Structure 1
Amino acid sequence: MPPSRYVALRYGLADDYDRLDRLHRSGPEPAYDEGVALESRLCRNAEKAAESIKDVRLPDFYLEKLNEELENLGRIAASPDAVHDILHISPDFLAKYGIDKNASATERSCQAEKAYRELDARFVRMTGRRPYADELFASIRRKRENSGIENRPRQAQRTILWNPPSKGRKMGI
């Protein structure tokens, strides 16, 4: 929902809202990527403006939404292929946090880690809770190191015969 004209001018959002309005009036098809990038920039700037107001408690629904985004960033950092999850990860979300869906898996993981650390630091400022980023990424690194140990080549296993061949019958007396 766009803010009032006064708020948009005060926080430097007016030009972006005007451009977005022109894009919406021109039709939905022509500039989808530009609209996604513009909306994500507006969202980041609006969040920055809301969080900069001193001595104001932000609404719970806002904090819950940011917490969901924090969890999604953690999922992407741990498993970079999660960017292809169309149910939980939208193109707007990826654009908002600067994650390139077409980049390599390690690059996506690094982008998600950077975004997670920034959002986690914002949470610490807003709520006063302890930071989670260091613990999360230390556990992810430990899991990757342990999986490297488990995936090393092992000795070839011998086939086990469940029904060993009979030794034959001995003739009776």
Structure 2
Amino acid sequence: MNGRTIRIIGIDPGLRRTGWGIVDSDGPRLVYVASGVITPPKDDDLAYRLSALFDAVTGVIKSFSPSEAAVEETFVNENPRSTLKLGQARGAILLAPARLGLRVAEYTPNLIKKSVTGAGHAEKQQIQAMIGFLLPKATFGCADEADALAIAITHAHHRVSRQRLAAIATKVPQP
């Protein structure tokens, strides 16, 4: 890796389990750095669980010093109450890197699956197999960690085009 290396944290948000994964990206080359799962106390009130998520994500970011962050967007599931709680967890999680000055990108689950496996409706096992292929030194104990690494990989693949689009948008005269 050279001086153009970017460290990226991918975060798979959840109120029960939040996966995180960190990769170094030097153009097309990716290197596994670390991954883990945050599990806030499930018996605590919601506000304290959200606070625990925020503190834990902040701690991971401070420990590994990523330059950019990527988070999976919320999908709407059948239970509106669960969706709302996931949205609240995402809010706490999005706030942590933002408060530390990191640019935060968000990606849909289908784009993440397609970026890592080539199929937008890939199964968890396919994602984990591709993570093992793309990051041979990666060790992860659960799907949440693998998903977080997939989010980081997606950002590594899409970050340059996102930056180019942002640069073009700032150059276009506004009416």
Fold conserved between structures, TM > 0.5: no
Place the TM-score, normalised by the shorter chain, in its bin: under 0.3
TM-score normalised by the chain length of structure 1 = 0.25
Q: Please state which structure has a larger fraction of its residues in strand.
A: 2
Flag the structure with more relative contact order, 1 or 2, with Cα contacts below 8 A and sequence separation at least 6: 2
Q: Please state which structure has a larger fraction of its residues in helix.
A: 1
TM-score normalised by the chain length of structure 2 = 0.25
